[in-house]
Amino acid sequence: MPGAVFTFYSYKGGVGRSFTLANIAVLLARWGHRVLCLDWDLEAPGLGDYFRPRLPGVPGGGVVDLVADFRAGRFAPEKHVLRLTDAGVLDFLAAGREDDGYVGQVQEIDWERLYDEGFGEYLERCRERWTADYDFVLIDSRTGISDIGGICTAHLPDHLVVLFTANQQSIRGAMDLARRADAARNLLPFDRSRLTVMPILSRFDNREEYDRSETWRTIVTEETAELYRPWLDQAVAPETMSRHLTLPYVSYWSFGEQLPVLSEKTPSADQIGFALETVAAVIACRLDRTDLLAENRDAYVAAVRASRQEFKHELRVSIPRSSRRAADELVAELKKLDVRVVKSLSGDRSLLARAADDARHLCLVVDGQVSRWQSAEVELFLHRTLGQDRRVIPVLTAGTEAATLPGYVGNLRYLRLAGVPGAPRAARELVAQLKGFTPLVDAVDLAEVLDRARGAWLRPSRWDLVDELVDGLRATIGEGDDERVNDLAAELTVAIKPRSAPGSGLEPAPPNTRKSIDWLLRLLDARAQTTTQHPNHRRDLG
């Protein structure tokens, strides 16, 4: 998917446009996206001041040099880009060189004439290069109405981020610009989708004058409602989204050029980093899935934050203290299969303090019942998992009945940590699930039934029925009839259910029956083992 271009615009200065763009850029890069920032406010460039501590040097060129390159017949937009240090893939294209000649360069530019000479096509080539090399291109546009503003708000962007404050002049200016940009876009000779506009109420103070702030919030929602219609989910009210897209006024951050997202790593709801994360998440989703944001903001942001996360571990195994030995054996077998696995013991409070998980999937070893700690662990995992390919896989110990477990665990596809060989087989089946391969039959559940059949004491007539069912299973597994296998396994479960006390004419499994069961167990174990070497796995674990 090509990258998306977002232009940040404000009708008036002093609304925090460059501040917002810089912080959003840092968040997107931290979350694993490739980001390019362009300072197109040529008459009053200032975006670089936010990045200066992390720039490798003074910019030797910038946006104005694209014009010089065009006139000289050169095409090398990457030549003028600087990469910030310790910020992921975050590149910066300044307005131009920071020397005495810069002002003269800007004043010499005649944008209308440049477009007549073909600069629009040249800029389109730059745009194609940028969207191929980056996930997000963020443009800091100058304020007011201008030729430069038209390039930034109509020609280049896919989406327009309009910042304004709670006063009529700022709101009307932003709305007028949005309409102008949409009209100008329709006249472009380039293939573009409809321009979507994301309104941001900035520097909003609702701490001192709450009643007045709520009155103005209503005014803002009514004035900007039309901007939401093209992209907001129908189930979400503009007022709800407006609250999510509000940046509070915090006096501490009004001094100098600062990046609060670097210091507020896990911001609370009253910090500006919290609001910036919300806006960044909406941009990362390209204004999509707003219904999920309305349902659960924290889960929405957490999912975006982790969407490109490289997990240190592939699997976390949650271990109840009552079954620590069996679970340790499972972990040891998983390591033999080269799975990057980590253990968590019930009561490990360090898990709750982490901003994000370090394991992609969660294996829940359940011994009898899901403990209160494990319930909290699953809830936290699911809270951070919205929209991602991450799974909870229950592994039940012997005697644990799935039907008695809470729905969020009992309704999941589970494995059994029982029988012989319990841990090795469970580990292989666990790997098969993580790799996305579903066995022909539910080998672990069937194996558990066969294990119980092998050790049962039944009347001779009942053993005759077991023989028939086992023979039927041998034939049905070979034919690949998954549904029939499940039916026979259910019948076998009923057949071996104890009906009288030991010693009342009951007998152990006859040798031939035991031999048939052992043959089936070896078959299922071999099949489970081959799933770890299946050629069509979606990915390797290692």
Q: Which of 424, 409, 262, 259 is nearest to 329 (CA)?
A: 424
CA 271 to chain centre: 23
What is the model's pLDDT at position 538? Answer: 35
Q: How much is the average pLDDT of 118-125?
A: 92
What is the model's pLDDT at position 390? Answer: 78
Which residues have C-beta within 8 Å of that of residue 181, sequence separation ≥ 6?
150, 153, 154, 160, 195, 197
Q: How much is the average pLDDT of 405-430?
A: 78
What is the model's pLDDT at position 535? Answer: 40
Axis crossing angle, helix 511-531 with helix 422-434, rounded to the nearest 10: 40
What is the model's pLDDT at position 443? Answer: 43
Beta carbons of 244 and 278 less than 8 angstroms apart:
yes
What is the model's pLDDT at position 266? Answer: 79
pLDDT band at 536 (very low <50, low <70, confident <90, very high): very low
Average pLDDT, the chain: 84
Percent of the chain clearing pLDDT 90 (strictly above): 36
What is the model's pLDDT at position 354? Answer: 60
Q: How much is the average pLDDT of 114-119?
A: 91
What is the Cα–Cα distance from 253 to 270, expressed in whole angstroms?
Answer: 13
Q: How much is the average pLDDT of 109-129?
A: 91
- Taking CA atoms, 449 is separated from 46, 143, 191, 262, 433, in Å, by 70, 72, 62, 55, 20
What is the model's pLDDT at position 444? Answer: 42
What is the model's pLDDT at position 158? Answer: 92
What is the model's pLDDT at position 528? Answer: 53
Percent of the chain clearing pLDDT 70 (strictly above): 87
What is the model's pLDDT at position 9? Answer: 93
What is the model's pLDDT at position 373? Answer: 84
> 442 pLDDT exceeds 50?
no
What is the model's pLDDT at position 440? Answer: 39
403: tokens are: 């039907």
What is the model's pLDDT at position 241? Answer: 95
Q: 82 or 421: which carries more pLDDT confidence?
A: 82
- The string of pLDDT tens digits covering residues 193-212 is 788 999 999 999 877 777 88
What is the model's pLDDT at position 542? Answer: 41
What is the model's pLDDT at position 280? Answer: 97
> 401 pLDDT exceeds 50?
yes
What is the Cα–Cα distance from 251 to 253, expressed in whole angstroms?
Answer: 5
- The string of pLDDT tens digits covering residues 167-193 is 999 999 989 988 888 888 777 777 777
> 132 pLDDT exceeds 80?
yes
Q: How much is the average pLDDT of 250-255?
A: 85
Q: 476 or 29: which carries more pLDDT confidence?
A: 29
